[in-house]
Structure 1
Amino acid sequence: MPIRSDPDNVGFLIADVTRLLRAEMDRRITAEGLALNPGDVRTLSHAARCGATRQNLLAERIGVEAMTVSASLDRLEALGLIERQADSADRRAKLVHVTAAGEAMLESIQPIAAGLRTEAAKGVSPADWQRFLDTLKQVRANLSAARDQSRKESAAA
């Protein structure tokens, strides 16, 4: 008898919700007619979230290959939304900085994201929504700690 995975386990649920949120956000961004494609919006948003960061770390944070984020950064830089500056700790590396124009673009995207979050939370009490967010933060912290421990053990071996 084949083993069947529970379609409502935490991994599937998070993946499904992520996929649906991303697809709807992409649709809304495209419908808004912004000068950015949805991937560029994700890159800009993560760059703002991370602060000045190296391109390779930004790619890791987004979950894409370095070449993918590099192409997106090229487009964002051409639009004046980000700047790449030499990293004083390693001149070969570049740090990504969001410009004032990039911040303004993110401000125009915020209402789109807020509307999507409101729709996603429809029918959920504010207290339950906050507990949900707090739980996700704890799960993220647990998984980050497990990843860090695994890296330490690998480095020690």
Structure 2
Amino acid sequence: MPTRQDSDSFGFIVGDISRLIRAEMERRIAAAGLSVTPGEGRTLLNIARIGTVRQNVLAERMGVEAMTLSGYVDRLEQRCLVSRAVDPADRRAKLVSLTSEAEGVVEELRALGDSLRADLSRTMRSDEWDALMSNLRRIREDLAGMKCKAPAVVETGE
């Protein structure tokens, strides 16, 4: 009989928080009546965060398939919120960047994110929130560093 997995393990908690935050942001974006879908909003915020970026790198950073991102970028480009250009380092690749028309939408999206963070942190003292954020950043850095290293071999003694 299989053992039951602890639903309060680190991985499950982080996964649940990520899913719940995404769902709440989607609800807030829809309620605000913004001119973008939640996926398009995430695309704009990610470009605003990292700057002009290759489309394939953006898809990876967002954790979506290249075709999904392509649909978001197509629609955002049609509304003049992003532009695409050929990457001079690789003519097969496209660089995506925000246009000046995106500034207002990005600010509205940021305000929704700020509101969500305020709601989430209201039951914590500011030093507790700061410690949580510091620890999460450290975990993110550690995980990013692991991507570059070969996996450790575990000795089984056999």
* TM-score (normalizing by structure 2): 0.92
- The match for 1:12 is 12
- Per-residue CA deviations over 1:60-103 (Å, capped at 9, x if unaligned) read 00000000000000011011111001111011111001111112
Tell me the SS of whatever aligns to 2:96: strand
Identity %: 44
- Per-residue CA deviations over 1:128-157 (Å, capped at 9, x if unaligned) read 100000000000010110101139xxxxxx
Runs (4 or more) in structure 1 with deviation over 3 Å come to none
Greater share of residues in helix: 1
Out of 1-10 and 35-44, give the one that drifted further. Answer: 1-10
Q: How far apart, in 1, do the equivalents of 2:118 and 2:33 lie?
A: 21
Q: How far apart, in 2, do the equivalents of 1:27 and 1:84 lie?
A: 29
- Per-residue CA deviations over 1:22-57 (Å, capped at 9, x if unaligned) read 111100100111110101001111111121111110
Q: Does 1:22 align with 2:52?
A: no
Q: Does 1:33 align with 2:33?
A: yes
Tell me the SS of whatever aligns to 1:149: coil
Q: How far apart, in 2, do the equivalents of 1:109 and 1:13 lie?
A: 25
Tell me the SS of whatever aligns to 2:92: strand
> Residues 111 and 141 of structure 1: is their aligned pair in 2 closer, same or farther, counting only changes over 3 Å?
same
- The match for 2:80 is 80
Q: How far apart, in 2, do the equivalents of 1:13 and 1:95 lie?
A: 35
Please list, as runs of the form range in 1=range in 2, the aligned pairs for 1:3-152 lying within 5 A after superposition: 3-150=3-150
Structure 1 residue identity aligned to 2:33: G
RMSD over aligned Cα atoms:
1.2
Out of 135-144 and 103-112, give the one that drifted further. Answer: 103-112
Deviation at 1:7, TM superposition (A): 1.0
Contact kept, 8 Å, 2:82 with 2:99, in 1: the verdict is: yes
Tell me the SS of whatever aligns to 2:117: helix
Matched positions, count:
151
Tell me the SS of whatever aligns to 1:148: coil
Structure 1 unaligned regions, length at least 5: 152-157
* TM-score (normalizing by structure 1): 0.92
Tell me the SS of whatever aligns to 2:150: helix
Q: How far apart, in 2, do the equivalents of 1:128 and 1:91 lie?
A: 48
Out of 128-137 and 41-50, give the one that drifted further. Answer: 41-50
- The match for 2:156 is none
Structure 1 residue identity aligned to 2:73: L
